[in-house]
Amino acid sequence: MAITQEQALDFFRKAEALLSGHFLLTSGKHSASYFQCAKVLQYPDYTRQICLNISDYFRHIPVDGVIAPAMGGIIVGYEVARQLNKKFIFAEREDGVFKLRRGFDIKAGENYLVCEDVVTTGGSVMEVINIVKDAGAKLAGVGFLVDRSNGKVQFGVPQIGAVQIEVIAFDSHVCPLCKKGEPLVKPGSRKFTQ
Ligand code: ZN
């Protein structure tokens, strides 16, 4: 059974995937919170329960396979494929462009669900959507853990974000945390702000 927003957020907090403080994002903006999906995906049971929100959404839509962009989407895509009992493949960058490697192929007429961890601009997902379309296959939809675009990114097919996490960012000169004199922390990975 799909879990509630509050349960999903609780898993993020328990996994320390969602922290409060004063963070410098790679955009240069400051924020009172940051999240790192990889940290919640460390725990298979949290991953299973959060991904159910995606799987349940697509359970009655025809899906022949799940595809994800590497690396971020692989765990989400695999878990959703496992729950739907469908095959899973991934695309990876070669010379900066997402491609299918390792003998993966998509047959014309198949229905593919695209999965990703975090959608910010939707760029990686769009590249994978084009791989599906170029193969003559159909797009069943898009499922992801977190929508960082506040609903702005629409793929024109059924889509579902498993968890709503709003990260409010400030320009440094108007940052209320700077005004309070709270020390600024730069998270260790560029994945923090994607
Ligand atoms: Zn600040």
Query: What confidence tens digit (pLDDT) does each residue in 148-193 have?
Result: 887 889 999 999 999 988 778 999 999 999 999 999 998 864 444 4
Contacts of 68 (CB under 8 A, 6+ apart): 74, 76, 77, 78, 88, 90, 91, 114, 115, 116, 128
For residue 194, is pLDDT > 50? no
The phi, psi pair for 94, rounded to 5°, reads -135, 120
pLDDT band at 82 (very low <50, low <70, confident <90, very high): very high
Per-residue pLDDT of 115-146, as tens digits, reads 999 998 899 999 999 999 999 999 999 999 99
Q: Give, as residue ranges, everything with CB less than 5 Å from ion ligand 1.
A: 30, 175, 177-178
Nearest CA to 161 among 123, 107, 126, 122?
Answer: 122
Q: Domain residue spans in the chain?
A: 5-179
- The arithmetic mean of pLDDT across residues 35-63, rounded, is 96
pLDDT at site 63: 97
Cβ of 51: how many Cβ atoms within 10 Å? Answer: 27
How close is the Cα of 17 to the center of ligand 1, in Å? 20
Number of helices followed by number of strands (H, E) in the chain:
6, 9
For the record, the structure tokens of 186 come out as 């730069």
How close is the Cα of 94 to the center of ligand 1, in Å? 37
How close is the Cα of 19 to the center of ligand 1, in Å? 15
The three-state DSSP-derived secondary structure of 101-140 is CCCCCCCCCCEEEEEEEEECCCHHHHHHHHHHHHCCCEEE
How close is the Cα of 88 to the center of ligand 1, in Å? 41
How close is the Cα of 92 to the center of ligand 1, in Å? 35
Strand pairing of 18-24 and 97-100? unpaired
CATH of domain 5-179: 3.40.50.2020
Sign of the CA dihedral with 185 first, then 187, 192, and 193 last: positive
For the record, the structure tokens of 171 come out as 């320009």
- The arithmetic mean of pLDDT across residues 88-93, rounded, is 97
How close is the Cα of 29 to the center of ligand 1, in Å? 8
pLDDT at site 188: 62
Mean pLDDT of the chain: 92
